[in-house]
A and B are shown apart, each in its own frame.
Chain A
Amino acid sequence: MAANSWKEILDGQMPEDWSHEIDIFEGQMELRRQGKLDEKVFAETRLRRGVYGQRYDNGQRHDGIQTQTLDFPSGDLTKGPNTVWDAPGMQRIKVPFGGLTPDQLDVLAQLAEEYSDHILHVTTRQDFQLHYVHIEDTPDIMRRLAAVGITTREACGNVVRNVTACPLAGVCRDETFDVSPYAKAMTFFLLGHDDTQDFGRKFKVAFSGCGDNPCGLVKMHDLGLLAKTKVIDGEEKRGFAIYVGGGLGAVPHQAKLLTDFLPEEQILPLSQAISRVFARLGEKKNRNRARIKFLVSQLGIEQFRRLVFEEMESLPEDVRWTEFIEDAHQHVDNPLKSGSSLNGQTPLEGFTEWYATNVYHQRQAGYHVVTINLPLGDISSHQAYHLADIARKYVGDNIRTTVEQNIILRWVAGEDLVALYRELKAIGLGEPGAGTIVDITTCPGTDTCKLGIASSRGLAGELRERLTAKSATLPDAIKDLKIKISGCFNSCGQHHVADIGFFGNSRRAGNYKVPHFQVVLGGQWDENAASFGLAFGAVPAKAVPDVLDAITERYVAERERGERFQAWVSRLGKAEIRNMLEPFMNVPDYEVDPSFYSDWGDSRQFSIGDIGVGECAGEVVSLFSIEIAKAESQIFDAMIALDEGDYQAADESAYKAMLLGARALIRTQLLDVSEDPDDIVQEFRTRFYDTELFYDKFAKGKFGRYLFARHENPTVNPDEDSAHRLIEEAQLFIESCHDTEARVNGVIVA
C-alpha cells in the first residue's frame, strides 16, 4: 500500500538540513493560515523558498470586457500583500550552473504533471519554473526535488539567486579552465550563509570561462567572475577577473572591474566580503535603488573596492574557502561513451541544417555538444521523459540548461549524432536554429508575470513561427542575429543585450490602450554582454513583425562586407533608424483594424488595468500628444549626441526631455505653467508625485525621482556611462508620463 505522505516516503532520501527547512516552511504556512505570521514576513519567507506570485493573484482579472473578481475559496487569507492564498503561483527551481541529470529531469516532469500545467519552463538564469502551482502543494514539490538533490531555497527573494555559468564550461574550445566546480562551490557556500540574509534586493552571480564569448554574461551581473590564469613565482595559478555592479533592469549598468586577477582561493571570501558590504551599506528602504549596482555607482568603484578588501581582511577564517579547490583541479566530466567520428553515416533529412546550428565541437576530440532548441523555453513533461531516456542512452548525466532558455547534451560521441538527431526529431526536439534569429529569448510577460505590460511570449511565438517558416530563405547575414523580448522595461528577457530587442509598453489611441513594444537596437551579446542597446521608439505590438522585416531587409541590403549588425546600427545613425521606424508607429483607428487593440496570442481587448471613463479625454489627449512628442524628440536628440560622443549635450537633452514630459503632463491640469525648470519640477512634484498620480503600480515613484535627481544634482562632467544611463532614465520617465496621462484622464476601454 502506498505511503501516506511524501514526507514519510522520502524520509532519509533528502539531505537532513533541506528536509528540516521544508518542514519549517510548512509550519510557517500553517502559522500564516492561522493569522499568526505577518503577511509581509510570510511573503519574503515563501519567496526565499522559490514560491513566487503570479499575475491575477490579487484576486482580479480583466476579461476583455470588465474586471472580474476571482472568488477564491480561501477568502481574505493572503500569502503576501495583495496576494490571495489560493491564487495560482509559480515555483522557481534553482539549477546551479544549469547542471542536470536524467533522474532530476524525470522528477521535474512528474511535478509538472501533478502540480502544474505539464510544462517545464527554462529561464534566462538556467532555472526551471512551474506555473499555476497552488501554495499548498509546494512543500511536497520541494521534498521530491530535494530527494534528487535539488533545492528551491533562495530561488527568489532578496538573496543570492541561482549562480549561472557558461553551459559549455569544461568542453569549450576557448575557455581558460572549467568554471563549473567554482560555480558549484560558490552556490553552496553562499546558500543560506549568514552574510547573505540581509540584502535590500536580489544578488546575481555568474561565471564565465573566457572573455570573448558571451555565454557567461559576467558584465551584466551583480558579481561576475571571469576565468584567468597568471604566472606567479614561475607557476601558473588559476584565478578570476572580478566584475561588480552590473545589471539590466530598467536602467542597465555595465559592471565595473573590481580586480583583474583574484586567486582562486580568494573568490569565496571575496564574495562573502561583498555580501557584507552590500548588506551593510546597500539601500534597504527604496527597493528601486537597492541593487548593488546603485551602491557601486554611489560609492564609486575605488571606494567600493577599498571597503570590500578591508572587509575581506576582517573575515574569520573558514575552511570552505579552500577545501573545494583540490576537487576543482581534479574535476572532469564522465562521458558515457568513447569519442568518435561522424564520418560515413547516411544523413537524414534535415540533419545537415540541424548539425550546422545545433552541434558544437568540443575541445575533446570526437565529442560534441548538442543544443535542444526549446520554443519559448518550454518543454512538455512527455518530452522531458523522452529526453531523460535519450540522455541516459547517449550522455549520462551531462545535461545543462542555458541562459538562452535551451537545454544542451554534452559529450555526445560523433557516431551517435545521427541517431540522436533521429530520436530528438521524433519527440519534436530536433528543431534547427539554436542560437540563431529563430531562437528567441523571452520573459513570461503578461502570460504569468504581475509586472508584464505586453505579451512578450505571444510576440516571440509569432516571430518564431514566421521566421521558422522562411528559415530556408533567410539571408546568412541575419541568421545569427539575437532577438530578445521583455514584457516590460525590467529586462528579464535581456532585451538590452540583443541585436534586436523589444520591451513591452502601452500607448493610448483615442479612447483605447494599445499594446506596444519599444525597439531596442545595437546591444552586444558577445564579449560577455559588453554593451547595451538603446530604445528607438515604440511601435504597436501588431506592427513588430513588419518592423523586424524592415530592419533586417535594410541591414541585408546596405551592410558593408563583413559589417556586423551593431556596427551597421551605429553607422546608420539614430536619426535614420528613427526614420525607418516612424511609418510603423501609427495605430489605425479601432474601427479600421481592431486587431491592433489586442495583444499577440490573446483574443481579449488589450488592458493594463481598470481605468475609468474621462469625458474630456479627446481634447486633453490631443494637447498631451503634442506636448509629449516634444519630449520624445528631445530624447532622440540626446541619443544623437551620445552617438557623436558629446556626453554633455546628451546629458542635457535627456534632462530637458524629462522636463518636457513633466510639462506635458502638468499642462493636462494647468495650461499656464512656465518653461522654467524649477517651476516645472515644483508643479510636477505637487500635482503628480506627491499625489502619487505618477506612481507606477510596482515601480512606485521611481521614475519621478529620476527627474528630481537630475534637477537637484546636475551631472558634473558626464561620461558615456552616465549619459547613457540618463537617457534610459528619461525614456522610462516619458513612458511613465504616457501611463499617467492614460490613468488620470481615462480611457473607455481600460
Chain B
Amino acid sequence: MSLNRISIKYFVRRPETIDPGDFIPVFQKWIQNHTVEGLLIDVVDYKHVYQGPGVILIGHEVDYAFDLSEGRPGLLYTRKRALQADLRDALHDAFRLALIAAEKIESDGALHGISFDTSEVIVSFHDRLLAPNKPETLDLVREDVSVALQAIYGDANFEIELASDDPRHLFSIRVVVPKADDLPTLIARLDAGVPVSS
C-alpha cells in the first residue's frame, strides 16, 4: 500500500504549562538554522482557533505543528510528500523525524522544560481515497504499522485501535504503549536499526 501523507502526533505532558505562542520564535529559528530535515518555508499562527492546529511550521515535504486539536496539545508531524514508496519505510521515516523533532523541542530552553509522553501516539493517514476511515483499512495497514512500531518500541507491548469511528474523519490509529521508553532511547533504537523493509 502506498500512502504518502502520514502524520504522527505525540502529546505533551502538563499542557497547561505551555504557551503555544512560544513555538513561534522556536520554529522561526528552525527555519533560520535548518534545524530539521527538508525545505522549511514559513510559520503560521492559528492559536486563536479553539482546539485548532496551533502553531505550524510549514515545509515543502513536511509540516511540524504544536497542535491543539481535541484539547490535547502535542507535536504533530505531517509528511505531505513521499520520501519512501513503501508504507513500512514511510512509517519508519515519519516516526524517526517526528521523534527527532520532539527531542529538539524538549531540549530547547525557550520552551521551559516541555516533555512528551511516548506512551501514546496517533498515526493518521491524510488520504481518504486510499485510506478511508473504517476497520477494513486498519486491517490493511495493521502489519506495516506493527513492524514500524516494533522498530521503535522494541519488545514493548502496544495496542492499536481506530481513533475515531466517524467515517468523515481521517483514518487515524491510536497506539498505546504502556511501558514505553523515553525519547532518546526510542531514537537510539531507530538509529541502530535498518529500514524496516530491507
Contact = CB atoms under 8 A, between A and B. Distances in A.
Interface residues of B, number: 38
9 pairs of A and B residues whose beta carbons are closest in the complex: A428-B50, A603-B25, A380-B52, A375-B48, A118-B53, A63-B32, A114-B126, A601-B45, A603-B28
Nearest to B24: A603
A88 B80 CA distance: 12
Given A2-B129, A428-B51, A72 B39 contact: yes
Interface stretch (A105-113, A324-332, A362-370, A401-409): A105-113
A428 B170 CA distance: 21
B48 A106 contact: no
Contacts of B131: 2
Contacts of B130: 2
A378 B46 contact: yes
Contact of B49 (A73, A109, A378, A458): A378
B39 A70 contact: yes
Given A56-B42, A118-B52, A461-B48, A63 B28 contact: yes
Given A3-B129, A106-B168, A113-B170, A380 B41 contact: no
21 contacts: A2-B132, A3-B129, A64-B32, A70-B39, A70-B60, A72-B39, A110-B128, A110-B168, A113-B126, A117-B63, A119-B53, A131-B44, A378-B48, A380-B50, A380-B52, A382-B52, A382-B69, A383-B50, A383-B51, A427-B50, A602-B28
Contact of A379 (B49, B63, B170): B49
B56 A117 contact: yes
Interface centre among B39, B50, B126, B127 (most CB of A within 10 A): B50
A725 interface: no
Nearest to B26: A603
A119 B41 contact: no
Given A114-B126, A114-B128, A376 B50 contact: no
Contacts of A64: 28, 32
Interface in B115-131: 126-131
A7 to B, nearest CB: 10
A132 B48 CA distance: 19
B169 A385 contact: yes
B166 A385 contact: yes
A383 B130 CA distance: 24
B101 interface: no
B60 A56 contact: no
Contacts of A447: 44-45
A77 to B, nearest CB: 14
A600 to B, nearest CB: 9
A429 interface: yes
Interface string B14-44: 0000000000110010011000000101111
Given A9-B129, A70-B41, A117-B44, 5 more contacts: A2-B130, A2-B132, A119-B49, A132-B58, A382-B52
A429 B48 contact: no
Given A64-B32, A603-B28, A458 B45 contact: yes
Nearest to A72: B60
Given A109-B168, A113-B126, A385-B169, A119 B28 contact: no
B70 interface: yes
Contacts of A458: 45
B13 interface: no
A439 to B, nearest CB: 13
A127 interface: no
Contacts of B28: 63-64, 602-604
Nearest to B48: A375
B174 interface: no
B53 A429 contact: no
Interface residues of A, number: 50
A376 B168 CA distance: 26
A284 interface: no
Contacts of B128: 110, 114
Contact of B52 (A6, A114, A132, A378): A378
Nearest to B166: A385
Contacts of B51: 380, 382-383, 427-428
B189 interface: no
Nearest to B170: A113
A9 B56 CA distance: 32
B31 A68 contact: yes
A10 to B, nearest CB: 10
Nearest to A109: B168
Interface in A508-567: none
Contacts of A113: 126, 170
A25 B46 CA distance: 32
A601 B70 CA distance: 23
B5 interface: yes
A118 B69 contact: yes
A465 B19 CA distance: 15
B39 A71 contact: yes
Interface in A63-114: 63-65, 68, 70-73, 86, 88, 106, 109-110, 113-114
Contacts of B53: 117-119, 380
A616 B150 CA distance: 64
A6 B168 contact: no
Nearest to A458: B45
B65 to A, nearest CB: 8
B49 A375 contact: yes
A222 B181 CA distance: 63
A667 interface: no
A622 B42 CA distance: 35
A114 B32 contact: no
A113 B53 CA distance: 10
Contacts of A61: 31, 41-42
A351 B57 CA distance: 37
A579 interface: no
A685 interface: no
Contacts of A86: 60
Contact of B46 (A72, A119, A465, A604): A119
B59 to A, nearest CB: 9
Contacts of B70: 382
B32 A65 contact: yes
B129 A117 contact: no
A291 interface: no
A86 to B, nearest CB: 6
Contacts of A461: 45, 48
A72 B39 CA distance: 7
A361 interface: no
Contact of B42 (A5, A55, A72, A110): A55
A464 interface: yes
Nearest to B29: A603
A603 B45 CA distance: 11
Contacts of A378: 46, 48-49, 52
